[in-house]
Amino acid sequence: MSAVLTRPVGPDSHAGIEPCTHCDARPYSVCNAIGDCDLARLAALAQVMEVPQGTTFIAEGEPASHFFNITRGTAKLFKLLPDGRRQITGFAMVGHFLGLAVSDTYAFSAEAIEPIRFCRFHRNKLRALLEDFPAMESRLLEAAANELVAAQEQMLLLGRKTARERLASFLVMQCSQAMPAAHPHCQFPLPMTRGDIADYLGLTIETVSRTLTVLRKEGLIDVPGPGVLVLRDRAALEKVAGGLS
């Protein structure tokens, strides 16, 4: 990580004063396993940081010194082949935990697709903390199990679905993530570029663009502006996503 591009949040910042008690991510993240009374101990280990859009704050292959917890914004996680081909393995939103890997180097890279804030912990210090808070370890296991399920779903998408099915799956998933309630008609932000979507779905930018155009002309979706998307017919999209048309 480039030291120039990252900076700890100063004492004037809200998050700087009470890094955990009032954290935006607390309701969503694994740290909610720790009671308010013990939170100070966690806060003592946390280093809150903000980085601008485009910052690579985890680099594949580098020594894995920290755990990360996203508290604002979205990051993309990806792996690269030597010739530049890229596969985005996921998007980490508020509450997402990064760096679980047992290995001593990171298995993937992470880059901010918006200005983001995260807190980070030294691995060995957090490991010691985990021994005192088994509840947090349980939550981590739970989170890992959920990610594993999502990864298997993504393998099905990458290995067996058509471009049309991939886009439909992606949009439905993004929608349900943004709006837990299953509204039939839903609008939500789409902070990633076409290139990011393509690298997430194993397609090219052109195919993503073309397929979105088709879905739009069919009246299944609408693109009112850059970074915004509307599902006009969510039920139909879910059918397409499931391979039923």
In this complex, which beta carbon is closest to DNA, that of residue 187 or of residue 207?
A: 207
CB 186 within 8 A of CB 175: yes
Pick from 3, 36, 37, 83 the residue near its own copies by CB under 8 A. Answer: 83
If one asks whether residue 161 binds its own copies (CB under 8 A), the answer comes out as: yes
In this complex, which beta carbon is closest to DNA, that of residue 135 or of residue 223?
A: 223
Q: Which residues bind DNA (CB under 7 A)?
A: 162-164, 193-195, 202-210, 212-213, 223, 226
In this complex, which beta carbon is closest to its own copies, that of residue 154 or of residue 211?
A: 154
Tokens of 112: 């901010």
Question: C-beta of 142: minimal distance to DNA in Å?
Answer: 34
If one asks whether residue 158 binds its own copies (CB under 8 A), the answer comes out as: yes
**Residue 129 dihedral angles phi and psi, to the nearest 5°:** -65, -40
In this complex, which beta carbon is closest to DNA, that of residue 23 or of residue 215?
A: 215
User: What is the CA 236 to chain-centroid distance, rounded?
Assistant: 26
- Using CA atoms, how far apart are residues 219 and 230, in angstroms rounded to an integer? 10
**Per CB under 8 A, which region of 15-23, 38-46, 145-153, 182-190 contacts its own copies?**
145-153
Handedness of CA 151, 95, 228, 113 (dihedral sign): negative
If one asks whether residue 142 binds its own copies (CB under 8 A), the answer comes out as: yes
If one asks whether residue 38 binds its own copies (CB under 8 A), the answer comes out as: no
CB 116 within 8 A of CB 68: no
CA proximity to 28, closest of 76, 94, 73: 94
Amino acid at 154: Q
Using DSSP's 3-state secondary structure scheme, residue 174 falls into helix
Distances 157 to 71, 82, 165 between C-alpha atoms, Å: 28, 24, 8
Question: C-beta of 184: minimal distance to its own copies in Å?
Answer: 22
Find the helix or strand (DSSP H, E) in which 130 lies: helix 123-132
If one asks whether residue 146 binds its own copies (CB under 8 A), the answer comes out as: yes
| Residues near its own copies, by CB under 8 A | 77, 79, 81-83, 85-87, 89, 100-103, 107-108, 130-131, 134, 137-138, 140-142, 144-149, 151-156, 158-161, 199, 201-202, 242-244
